[in-house]
Amino acid sequence: PAAPAAPAAPAPALSARQVECGGLRDPRCAIQLFGGETAALARLRLYLWDEDRLREYKQTRNGMAGQGFSSKLSPWLAVGALSPRQVAAEVARYERERVANESTYWLLFELLWRDYFRFACIGWGSDVFRLAGPKRALDPGRGWSRDPAVWGPWTRAQTGYPLVDACMRELTQSGFMSNRGRQNVASFLARDLEADWRVGAEWFESLLADHDPCSNYGNWTYVAGVGADPREDRYFSIPKQARNYDGHGTFMRLWLPEVAGFSPEQLARPQSMDPGARAARRYPAPCCVLLMDRTGRKRGGGRAPAAGGARAGRRAGRGRTFRGGSETTQAAPAPAGPAAAAA
Ligand SMILES: Cc1cc2nc3c(=O)[nH]c(=O)nc-3n(C[C@H](O)[C@H](O)[C@H](O)COP(=O)(O)OP(=O)(O)OC[C@H]3O[C@@H](n4cnc5c(N)ncnc54)[C@H](O)[C@@H]3O)c2cc1C
């Protein structure tokens, strides 16, 4: 009889340098990265004009698989190959020539989070690198472990929670992870594993192609509950996030082919997988009991900065006047390059 197909081996770790150089050019990557301003402007043009995706950014931005769900401009913004003013000028032109709606506003709104963390970090100084963060207060009930036995499965994409492992494997393979993914894995490390959040921030720092100290450490303090978040006790329930944002399991199966045979609900709630079937695929059992299962908490759809935040979202809705009280839509003109945008 034919030998059974070998289960997929765990992804090899890439050095940050390999990622910088283009890594494996894995076709599953959300974006193939090339350095420099020319590549940055090409991406801006593709996203806004050629594929006309900006008009639906607000609806798609929480996606996890594929290049088109968000701008993917962060790597070039992080190294200065593209300036936020260039993006803002191009969005303004898009609003004049194509459509001005909540989505066009929302991209600018996300850039404001980038600015916010830069200015906030000036005020916070080195506090943003300390365990207690800018908040300067620690929840004594949490572990804050630096033990590799606690956080090791997270870095190796071996937690036994497919949503977390798929995101972590994507990061290792591609140097990118969606904002939704970053929020989930950060919450998992800080809240479910009760590890020192800085282990995660350092891991991100070593692998993210768009690493930016203010955005990275600022967002980590926010998700870990030691930042400037007005909402206490932010928590992302992994099963709920998997159901809401990867309901068909497309993203999880993309990065974890070894679990492709499980149903979306089994992927969201891996405790429901048959242990024998899981072992046959060499996929690990869950490495921890989730906080929500330890405490019986029901909530878990936490919204972190790029989600706008409940308050920020309300502000955004009020603060923006759309021309004519609703969307202004114009026929899409021929694609135009971003080179004409004011720098
Ligand atoms: C734990 C954690 C760590 C992060 N680390 C980084 C990092 O090192 N570098 C980085 O650029 N972003 C970081 N972010 C923010 C965000 O995840 C990325 O900016 C975004 O996923 C990049 O994809 P995009 O360009 O398609 O974003 P889009 O959704 O298209 O947003 C457009 C731009 O807005 C800015 N932006 C969006 N969300 C945020 C945010 N929450 N905070 C700050 N700026 C934002 C980015 O410059 C981004 O390119 C982090 C978020 C979390 C939760």
Q: Which tens digit of pLDDT belongs to each residue from 256-295?
A: 999 999 999 999 999 999 999 999 999 999 999 999 999 8
Within-domain flag for 257:
yes
DSSP β-ladder status, 328-329 and 99-100: antiparallel
* Ligand 1 site residues, Cβ closer than 6 angstroms: 61, 70-74, 77-78, 107, 110-111, 113-114, 117, 178-179, 182-183, 186, 204, 208, 210-212, 215-216, 219-220, 223, 304-306
pLDDT value for 316: 33
Under 8 Å between Cβ of 96 and 49: no
Q: Which tens digit of pLDDT belongs to each residue from 232-259?
A: 788 999 999 999 999 999 999 999 999 9
Which of the 8 DSSP states describes residue 260?
T
CA dist., res. 2 & res. 6, Å (int): 12
Q: Which tens digit of pLDDT belongs to each residue from 70-128?
A: 999 999 999 999 999 999 999 999 999 999 999 999 999 999 999 999 999 999 999 99
CATH number at 295 reads 1.10.579.10
Of residues 283, 142, 296, 282, the one with CA closest to residue 226: 142
Which of the 8 DSSP states describes residue 136?
T
C-alpha Rg value of the chain to the nearest Å: 21
ipTM: 0.99
Structure tokens at 50: 């050629």
Within-domain flag for 235:
yes
Q: Say what angle helices 37-45 and 84-97 make with each other, to 10 degrees.
A: 30
Q: Which tens digit of pLDDT belongs to each residue from 154-167?
A: 999 999 999 999 99
CA dist., res. 140 & res. 106, Å (int): 37
Within-domain flag for 317:
no
Pocket test for ligand 1, best of 67, 110, 187 (most atoms within 8 A of CB): 110
Within-domain flag for 253:
yes
- How many domains is the chain partitioned into structurally? 1
Taking the CA of residue 84 as reference, the ligand 1 atom at the shortest distance is 47
| Residue 184 CA, ligand 1 centroid: distance in Å | 14
CA dist., res. 214 & res. 84, Å (int): 15
Within-domain flag for 187:
yes
Within-domain flag for 65:
no
Structure tokens at 12: 């090899």
Under 8 Å between Cβ of 212 and 78: yes
Q: Which residues are catalytic?
A: 110, 113, 144, 179, 197, 220
Q: Which tens digit of pLDDT belongs to each residue from 30-48?
A: 888 889 999 999 999 999 9
Residue ranges of alpha helices (H) inside 46-101 are 57-60, 74-79, 84-97
Within-domain flag for 41:
no
Within-domain flag for 44:
no
| Residue 215 CA, ligand 1 centroid: distance in Å | 7
CA torsion 227-229-234-236 (nearest 10°) is: -80
State the residue range of the domain holding 295.
Answer: 137-311
